[in-house]
Structure 1
Amino acid sequence: MFWALSGLLGPLPLSADTLWLANGDRITGTVLRHTTSAWQVDTEAAGILNIAAEHVARVVWSGAEVPMSDPLELVTTPASNLPENRSFSSSGGVDVALEYENSAVDTHEVDIDLRQNVAQGVWRHRWRGRYHREYRDGERRDNDWELAYSPERFVSRQRFWHGRVSAKRDWEEDISRRFALGLGPGYQFWDTEQSAFSLSALLTRNRFSYANHPEERFYAWALQWQFNRYFWQELFELYATGRTGRAFSGATGFQFNAETGVRYPLTEWMSLNMAVEADWVENSAEDLRDTLYHIGLGVNW
């Protein structure tokens, strides 16, 4: 399903040395993307250039010339872009939001979100840890944490196998514990310095524990997405992550968990973060409908 969508959702990132134009001119830089109608090249002297494909006569990838008459597969797969040749990269951060409101209702709230991504060669690893607590008039209303780990193993430039293991503990909801283990195929539609988007389809094994009901175990399918995009010369980052799915059987039916937000850099290592998170579960024991809004500071590395 995902393989057929790649041509619809966006062009794939490439890297190049030199584009030779039909009039004899030469452009040297990094090709950010390539479609049947245009090339987008990041040059050191002139910035990002958009060139109509009809003006490109041939391309030289890292010293190896490829005529434009050759098949597209030869043009779009330089050796430096193969998964086994990808260099080590690591990024992460922690976002902290604190709130105190002294009004008709005295509210204390804290949110902590830790994330880490590591990639090298055919492997990419994502870690996530979160904690949320809220008191109103001295009474605890929310108190929960969640941990998740997702290894991804690429079998081509875009296709990969995606694994996920996650655990959540909630002291206030009837669904007190959640554990999920999943595996399935994924597709990286594009991944550049400016933007990235991937989808994964997972078969998951789930275990729900309840405060007032028997434990439940069930299989489910899940669709997971990861998206980010920088705007206005990388002053803003828009990101969206989440997953949705439905159980094959059992008391638990539909599940949906997603977060959408923006980050604004204040310094090279600190950012202002605003996000909205939704956690919904349709369940015969208790339907869960949580929507959280976060505004806080982040430290990035």
Structure 2
Amino acid sequence: MLLRSLFTLLAYLACAPLLADTLWLNNGDRLTGEIILLDGGKLALKTKYAGQVLINWKDIDTLRTDKPLLIKREGLDSQHSQSLEAAGKGMVRLHNGTSEIVPLASIRQMVPPRPMLRDRIWEGNLDAKLDLERNENKTDEWKLKGDTRVEHGRWRHVLSGELEKESKNGARTEDNWEMEYDLDRFFTEHWFVRGSHERQVDDFQFVERQRSYGLGPGYRFWDSELGRFDLITQFSRFQLESDDGDLDFNAYSFEWDFKRLLSGTRFEIYSKAQVQVPQISEIDYVLDSEFGLRYRINGWARLSLLYELDQLRGLGQTSSDRHYLLGVGIGW
């Protein structure tokens, strides 16, 4: 019995390396690890010895993996693959009930599918920007923005916020923060309903405090290792507080959330925006939007470039507030 157990253990250890994804390169090298995705001519491979590495797709001779993948080939719709098997120079065997040998050059994209029901996914970003001016006036400004989301089964929790402070010659000129919590419940792979609660505090604006509660449907176009794209509409109740009195009103809103990885996960473009149409005669609409680009230095460090546009239209006039932010951050 002991000899049989020892033989089983040795056989498992000998076969364990074969369970990893394997790449054979044109120069004869062989790499093992976990295939993250293929996009933009770059294959991202997670290795134990060098972390995540990017490999030019044209430098790969063949490969094998036992993990399911969504594969997009030139001139064809996306198709599921149960596994891929090495099939000679520049070729790979695709298994999906049937077996088919296809050239690597015809494959444009490979992404692991995300099932509807998952144990848990946690991701987020935190970006910081510091601006120090030492001209005629001494101005110190810093801003912190972040968001995180946790998905478990059919539930998704999204928390986002930002904090901004500015002083000029020792006197405060900006001091505000905002926080939003969203709870999503998915009914299908694409459709969900969202409940939201948001709070804003600004010591230097006419409206010092703002609270809102919203509820409405959302649609997820896609969500994969490459990113996501969601559209949400909501009916909201707003409560504004100022020294001149309080104001309550209803509003309709339209929101999008977009993220896309480029160049084998090295670059990330993203955009978030919300258009609100209050049910009061003084305001036509309120736009709160941001568009950004992140450069992933490694698995957690980021450089970020962000453009923010806030706009309000009412009483025949439009006021806009634009910000350009360059900062550093972390992601997970």
For the criterion TM > 0.5, the same-fold answer is: yes
Letter in 2 for 1:86: R
Corresponding residue for 2:236? 204
Aligned pair partner of 2:179 in 147, 157, 164: 147
- Does the 8 Å CA contact 1:218/1:250 hold for their aligned counterparts? no
Aligned-pair distance for 1:150? 0.6
Does residue 31 in structure 1 map to residue 74 in structure 2? no
Corresponding residue for 1:3? none
Corresponding residue for 1:254? 285
- Provide the C-alpha distance between the structure 1 equivalents of 2:303 and 2:85, rounded to a whole number of angstroms: 32
- Provide the C-alpha distance between the structure 2 equivalents of 1:216 and 1:273, rounded to a whole number of angstroms: 37
Aligned pair partner of 2:295 in 243, 258, 264: 264
Does residue 194 in structure 1 map to residue 226 in structure 2? yes
The 5 A counterparts of 1:272-283 are: 272-282=303-313
Question: Aligned to 1:38, what secondary structure does the other structure show?
Answer: coil
TM-score (norm 2): 0.66
Flag structure 2 segments of 5+ consecutive residues without an equivalent: 1-64, 87-93, 99-112
Does residue 116 in structure 1 map to residue 148 in structure 2? yes
Letter in 1 for 2:147: R
Corresponding residue for 2:131? 99
- Provide the C-alpha distance between the structure 2 equivalents of 1:288 and 1:45, rounded to a whole number of angstroms: 59
Structure-2 change in CA distance of 1:45 and 1:97 (3 Å):
farther
Letter in 2 for 1:289: S
- Does the 8 Å CA contact 2:302/2:329 hold for their aligned counterparts? yes
Tell me which structure has the larger Cα radius of gyration. 2
- Does the 8 Å CA contact 1:32/1:192 hold for their aligned counterparts? no
Letter in 1 for 2:268: E
Question: Aligned to 2:208, what secondary structure does the other structure show?
Answer: strand
- Does the 8 Å CA contact 2:141/2:165 hold for their aligned counterparts? yes
Letter in 2 for 1:229: R
The 5 A counterparts of 1:18-57 are: 29-32=68-71, 37-39=76-78
Aligned-pair distance for 1:215? 1.4
Aligned-pair distance for 1:45? 6.9
Aligned-pair distance for 1:296? 1.2
Aligned-pair distance for 1:90? 0.4
Structure-2 change in CA distance of 1:209 and 1:97 (3 Å):
same
Letter in 2 for 1:103: N
Structure-2 change in CA distance of 1:118 and 1:108 (3 Å):
same
- Does the 8 Å CA contact 2:232/2:254 hold for their aligned counterparts? yes
Aligned-pair distance for 1:40? 5.7
- Provide the C-alpha distance between the structure 1 equivalents of 2:273 and 2:69, rounded to a whole number of angstroms: 31
Q: Which moved more, 1:142-151 or 1:35-44?
A: 35-44
- Provide the C-alpha distance between the structure 1 equivalents of 2:72 and 2:221, rounded to a whole number of angstroms: 12
- Does the 8 Å CA contact 2:114/2:224 hold for their aligned counterparts? no
Question: Aligned to 2:78, what secondary structure does the other structure show?
Answer: strand
- Does the 8 Å CA contact 1:129/1:145 hold for their aligned counterparts? yes
Corresponding residue for 2:168? 136
Structure-2 change in CA distance of 1:268 and 1:190 (3 Å):
same
Letter in 2 for 1:220: A
TM-score (norm 1): 0.73
Flag structure 1 segments of 5+ consecutive residues without an equivalent: 1-26, 47-55, 66-79
Aligned pair partner of 2:322 in 263, 287, 291: 291
Aligned-pair distance for 1:195? 2.5
- Provide the C-alpha distance between the structure 1 equivalents of 2:330 and 2:238, rounded to a whole number of angstroms: 33
Structure-2 change in CA distance of 1:106 and 1:275 (3 Å):
same
Corresponding residue for 2:110? none
1:177-210 C-alpha deviation (Å, 9 max, x unpaired)? 1111101010001111112101011000011222
Identity %: 25
Aligned-pair distance for 1:104? 3.3
Question: Aligned to 2:196, what secondary structure does the other structure show?
Answer: strand
1:98-135 C-alpha deviation (Å, 9 max, x unpaired)? 11111234321100112211001101110012101122
Aligned pair partner of 2:198 in 161, 166, 169: 166
1:50-88 C-alpha deviation (Å, 9 max, x unpaired)? xxxxxx9x954xxxx9xxxxxxxxxxxxxx8663x2231
Does residue 236 in structure 1 map to residue 267 in structure 2? yes
- Does the 8 Å CA contact 2:266/2:297 hold for their aligned counterparts? no
